[in-house]
Chain A
Amino acid sequence: MENKAENPSIQNAEVKAPGKLARMFLTLYDVYKFIARFFKEGFLPPYEVKELFRQCYEIGYRSALLISTTGFITGIVFTKQSRPSLSEFGATSWLPSLVGIALLRTLAPLLTGLIAAGKVGSSIGAELGSMRVTEQIDAMEVSATNPFKFLVSTRVLAATITIPILTFYTAMVGMLGALLNVSLSEGTSARAFFQSSLEQITFLDITASTIKAILFGFTIGMVGCYQGYNSSKGTEGVGKAANSAVVIAMFLIFIEEVVSVQFFGLFRS
Chain B
Amino acid sequence: MEEKPTLKNSTKVIEIKGLNKSFGNYHVLKGVDLDLYKGENLVVLGKSGTGKSVLIKIIVGLLTPDAGQVSVLNQHVDQITYKELLALRLKVGFSFQNSALYDSMTVRENLEFPLVRNQKSLTKREVNMAVEEMLDAVGLLQTINQMPSELSGGQRKRIGIARTLILRPEIMLYDEPTAGLDPITCLEINNLINEVQERFHTSSIVITHDLTCAKAVGNRVAMLLDGQFQRLGTFEEVFNTNDERVKPFYDYNFIH
Contact = CB atoms under 8 A, between A and B. Distances in A.
B25 A139 contact: no
A145 interface: yes
Contacts of A18: none
B102 A145 contact: no
B97 to A, nearest CB: 8
A30 interface: no
Contacts of B97: 135
Interface in A127-141: 127, 130-131, 134-136, 138-141
A196 to B, nearest CB: 47
Interface stretch (A5-13, A68-76, A78-86, A242-250): A5-13
Interface residues of B, number: 35
B167 A143 contact: yes
B30 A144 contact: no
Contacts of A14: 24-25
Given A13-B25, A134-B100, A142 B92 contact: yes
A46 interface: yes
Contacts, number: 79
B100 A136 contact: yes
Given A141-B62, A144-B87, A144-B167, A15 B118 contact: no
Nearest to A141: B62
Given A136-B100, A138-B96, A139-B94, A13 B66 contact: yes
Contacts of B248: none
A2 B97 CA distance: 29
A145 B114 contact: yes
Given A136-B102, A139-B94, A145 B20 contact: no
B60 interface: yes
Q: Among the interface residues B20, B27, B92, B163, which one has the most CB atoms of the partner chain A within 10 A?
A: B27
Given A134-B98, A135-B96, A136-B103, A144 B118 contact: yes
Contact of A10 (B25, B89, B93): B25
B22 interface: yes
B117 A145 contact: yes
Nearest to B23: A13
Given A131-B103, A134-B98, A143-B163, 11 more contacts: A9-B27, A127-B104, A130-B103, A131-B102, A136-B103, A140-B102, A142-B93, A143-B89, A143-B113, A143-B167, A144-B90
Interface of B: 20, 22, 24-27, 30, 57, 60, 62, 66, 86-87, 89-90, 92-94, 96-98, 100-104, 113-114, 117-118, 120, 163-164, 167, 226
12 contacts: A9-B20, A10-B25, A15-B24, A131-B103, A134-B103, A135-B100, A136-B100, A139-B100, A141-B60, A143-B94, A144-B114, A145-B117
